[in-house]
Amino acid sequence: MRAVVVEAFGPVETAQVVELPVPEPGPGQVLIEAKAFGVNYPDMMVIEGTYQFKPPLPFIPGKELAGIISKVGPGVDRWKPGDRVIGQVEYGAWAEYVAIDENTCLAISDKMSFEQATSMGMVYQTAWFALFDRGQFGPGDVVMVTGASGGVGLAAVQIVQAMGGTVLAGVGSPEKMDAVRAAGADHIIDLSGDDLRESVRAEVFAATDGHGADICLDMVGGDVFEACMRGLAWRGRMVVVGFTSGTIPTIKAGHLLVKNIAVAGIQWSDYRDKTPEIMADAQARMMELFDEGKLGVELMKSYPMDRFAAALTAIRERRVVGKVALIP
* For the chain, domain boundaries: 2-120+297-327, 123-268
The torsion angles phi and psi of 269, rounded to 5 degrees, stand at -65, -25
Encoded amino acid at 211, one letter:
H
- Superfamily of the domain at 123-268: Medium-chain alcohol dehydrogenases, catalytic domain (3.90.180.10)
Are 205 and 212 in contact by the 8 Å Cβ rule? The answer is yes
Rounded CA-CA distance 90/53 in Å is 9
Q: How far is CA 17 from CA 59, 66, 68, 95, 267, in A?
A: 12, 19, 22, 9, 29
Rounded CA-CA distance 271/63 in Å is 14
- Superfamily of the domain at 2-120+297-327: Medium-chain alcohol dehydrogenases, catalytic domain (3.90.180.10)
Instruction: Find the helix or strand (DSSP H, E) in which 178 lies.
Output: helix 177-183
Rounded CA-CA distance 106/113 in Å is 14
Q: How far is CA 108 from CA 160, 272, 284, 293, in A?
A: 21, 16, 8, 15
> 327 - beta bridge partners?
304
Rounded CA-CA distance 9/290 in Å is 38
Cis peptide before 11 (omega within 30 of 0): no
2-120+297-327 and 123-268: identical CATH topology: yes
pLDDT at position 194 is 80
Residues in the chain with pLDDT values less than 50: none
User: Other C-beta atoms within 10 Å of 48: how many?
Assistant: 16
Angle CA 111–113–117, to nearest 5: 100
Where do the DSSP E strands lie in the chain?
Answer: 2-5, 16-19, 29-38, 64-72, 84-88, 97-101, 105-107, 142-145, 166-171, 187-190, 213-218, 232-240, 262-265, 299-304, 323-327
pLDDT at position 211 is 96
pLDDT at position 63 is 95
DSSP code of residue 151 = H
Number of Cα atoms under 13 Å in the Cβ half of residue 288: 8
Rounded CA-CA distance 69/86 in Å is 10
Specify the pTM: 0.87
pLDDT at position 57 is 97
